[in-house]
Structure 1
Amino acid sequence: MTLKRLFDLAIALPAALILALPIALVALAVRLTSPGPALYWSDRVGRHSRIFRMPKFRSMRIDTPAVATHLLENPAQWLTPIGPFLRKSSLDELPQLWSILRGDMSFVGPRPALFNQDDLIALRTEAGVHELVPGLTGWAQVNGRDEIPIPQKVALDAEYLRRQSLAFDLRILWLTAVKVLRSDGVSH
């Protein structure tokens, strides 16, 4: 087991216990404000381009097309009543603790692509980024999140591949906390 995996488990296990009540409350809020399940499971591309199922709290209606949000003509029309709040606060990401505990994800790495984001997947494969375990947050997220174009995201992911270390991960986690508290970089 790598140091990175041990770090993930050492943080994810207590976080899951501490956040159990808030997670239950968010799940209840999702269920009470829109029809459908509290969780949305999406097929994502993981390490070595392997597909895995990643949970998020559902911030969009159940009839939303399964594409990246930026590809929707009017993303706001698909949001649930509490969807904007879940996204701006990043509370929709809490169920990904499950993916971290399973080993499908890490706290830090490139954000996992949707199974149908062929352009992103191809560029990441070309840059060797597909060898990394995807993350809850990453270098691209703290440098623009939804606001930067795919080639720039991949360049930042490739930079993370070259620079990865526990110290760099801690820096990214710190920057993520600051960004989340400010709701920086969330476009919908």
Structure 2
Amino acid sequence: VTEPVRRAIRALPEQVWHPALNQDGTLRESAEVAELTGMTDLAGYPAGTRIIVRRERPHPGAQLSLFDQDEGLRHQVFLTDTPITSGSAQFLEVRHRGHATVEDHIRCGKTTGIGRFPSRRFPVNAAWLELSLAAIDLLAWTRVLLLDGELAAAEPKKLRYRLLHVAARITRGGRRLHLRISATWPWRHELAAAFHRLAALPRPAS
């Protein structure tokens, strides 16, 4: 948010601000969206570039710039080349905010192996990449199908510490599988619940 953008935001009349939306189309509380296209210099950007701004009441503990502190609102600005005929500022802002989850997954992927390759040889790194992508997929499906609460949204580092690196054994007896895990491990119930959910999943068709 540069000084020209700040001046443009301050110059926007109230009637051009529209309620922001959530991903499901409902109104986002205490948030509004407006378009700054034509109010700032976009020289050097491709023709058709648009600039969208969202303002909202900051959540407790949010880090605010001096501009945001002065205005009492948190501002976020982004550029897009989507034509005006293809999307309102409200729709584009929802789409842009949803893309943040993609960036989160990329960041998690970098901590699961794709952030650093082990070799100078391409075939070795190609194999490493395939294994890392498989691990990322397995973690994603584990969170969706087997975990709930805090762990359902946990990042790889937390999952490794709480579940993946725990000392445990799977044994078989009485035609059943049993999970043997230390009774003092703080997340033993979450891990046991994940195994029960895994066992209850329907078998893939052959």
TM interval, shorter chain, is under 0.3
- Alignment TM-score, normalising by the size of structure 2: 0.21
- Alignment TM-score, normalising by the size of structure 1: 0.23
Asked which structure has the greater CA Rg, the reply is 2
Select the structure with the greater relative contact order (CA < 8 A; seq sep ≥ 6): 1
